[in-house]
Structure 1
């Protein structure tokens, strides 16, 4: 039997990295009529009516966002001015979802990237730091890090200080028993990570190295995680999203053929050490 060679990819999700065909990566594919009839997106913004290109005043606003016949009576504006106002409101409304913490600035940064980035991938050191913090702080029985720790201990050939390639499947099975890193904890509703990432699309986990010596081991594991900063139809049809102007503006800016701002891939990476010993319980 041969020893495991490094680096070695030990896990990949079924969903692909860089999947631009995903439903939440569509943009500019819906008309005004479709957005109104299928998604009830007549009233989008408290500042501007994108359908008539008029600036709103407080007298124009309905008591309910689901009012269908309202038309802004304010001054006419250009499409460019309307777009700028929608993105400014989009950023302003994001503060409700990112109240505190070291990641609270990320949502505004990502909205601006949607406005100016033309669909290019987004990466930020804060995102990768949040990913590493999430992996290391997860002490539950579903922690992929702790499940890998146990699987390594159980499958190392301690007599020969080696890990054979044919038992690599055991590491993959260990990960499948756990929960991949996500940002769906209670605190993520307020710290900015729930609104920027929340769930994730694709994850690759690689064992970069494994040192075995004196009944101890030290493994270096790399997580590569990707999410989509975009909305699909299922998202906006859920009341928990559609009730907020934040998501209504987002969906129209992304999906309306009069705007068509491109969603993008959000990339984050983290490298963690896993250590343990032959005789540990």
Structure 2
């Protein structure tokens, strides 16, 4: 039987990499009327009115006349409006990112959205977070455990190879398990649920496999991509529709007079795994 040659892609999601046509990659496509009436964004900020380009000023005693407060305002430019909203975006993000080594990532990513014009984003801390998420999983559906079991079950020990005809077993078994995601309670406070949360596309490759004398060692390479952008469901679903940070983010991305571009978030990790043919019996 033909042996698998490495590197070999053993799994990839239905969603592909670099999908700029995805719904959460849209930008600058909604008018003020649509945002206010279809998506209920009548008020985006407590300090400015971004539709009228007005900054709300604090009340003073002289503005109280005949039992009525007269709210004063000052004009701002569209550029000033965007800067204020991005400052609020950064401030609001700290409510979801205040613990652990990844907590500052969201600020880097918001800055990237503001200044990088949609360029892809990479950061060593994202790669670190991905690797830790994979190797620390205790779930019985852990992706790396499934790969380990599939290797051990299908290796041709006599030939010290993995059969080419058994590569589809990886896809089938991985599909029954859980791919790496950042949806835990810890992720909700360390910033990863906000920066990544779920993921869009995953590709898993066996980059190297060594089999000898009932022992195997493999390098498993993960390439994962997410979109730092929001689609319509993010602003309409019950769990997030009243969150100020989601309103600010959606407005900055989708308002046709602003249209700040979402971007691809790229993560990679290589995991070493090893085992023996009969170790489960020992």
Equivalence for 1:140: 139
Q: Any conservation in 2 of the 1:144–1:174 contact (CA below 8 Å)?
A: no
TM normalised by structure 1 equals 0.94
Q: How does 1:126-205 map to 2 (within 5 A)?
A: 126-205=125-204
Shift of 1:164: 1.3
Shift of 1:158: 1.1
Shift of 1:75: 1.1
> Per-residue CA shift, 1:140-199, capped at 9, x if unaligned?
111010011111011011122111111111122221121000001111110110000000
Cα distance in 1 for residues equivalent to 2:135 and 2:175:
18
SS at match of 1:147: helix
SS at match of 2:162: coil
Equivalence for 2:62: none
Equivalence for 1:26: 26
Match status 1:111 vs 2:104: no
Cα distance in 2 for residues equivalent to 1:44 and 1:231:
15
Match status 1:8 vs 2:2: no
Q: How does 1:40-79 map to 2 (within 5 A)?
A: 40-58=40-58, 73-79=72-78
Cα distance in 2 for residues equivalent to 1:270 and 1:33:
44
Shift of 1:113: 0.4
Cα distance in 1 for residues equivalent to 2:170 and 2:28:
42
Cα distance in 2 for residues equivalent to 1:204 and 1:160:
28
Cα distance in 1 for residues equivalent to 2:72 and 2:22:
39
> Per-residue CA shift, 1:58-112, capped at 9, x if unaligned?
55xxxxxxxxxxx973211111111111101100110001011000001111011
Q: Any conservation in 1 of the 2:58–2:72 contact (CA below 8 Å)?
A: no
How many residues end up aligned between the 2 structures?
270
Distance 1:174 1:259, change over 3 A: same
Equivalence for 1:211: 210
Alignment root-mean-square deviation, CA: 1.2
SS at match of 1:250: helix
Cα distance in 1 for residues equivalent to 2:8 and 2:71:
59
Q: Any conservation in 2 of the 1:52–1:72 contact (CA below 8 Å)?
A: no
TM normalised by structure 2 equals 0.93
- Unaligned 5+ segments in structure 1 are 60-70
- Unaligned 5+ segments in structure 2 are 60-69
> Per-residue CA shift, 1:112-138, capped at 9, x if unaligned?
100001011111000010000000000
> Per-residue CA shift, 1:17-58, capped at 9, x if unaligned?
111111100000000011011011111012211011111235
> Per-residue CA shift, 1:195-224, capped at 9, x if unaligned?
000000000000001101121100100000
Equivalence for 1:120: 119
Cα distance in 2 for residues equivalent to 1:118 and 1:214:
53
SS at match of 2:75: coil
Over alpha carbons, which structure has the higher Rg?
Answer: 2
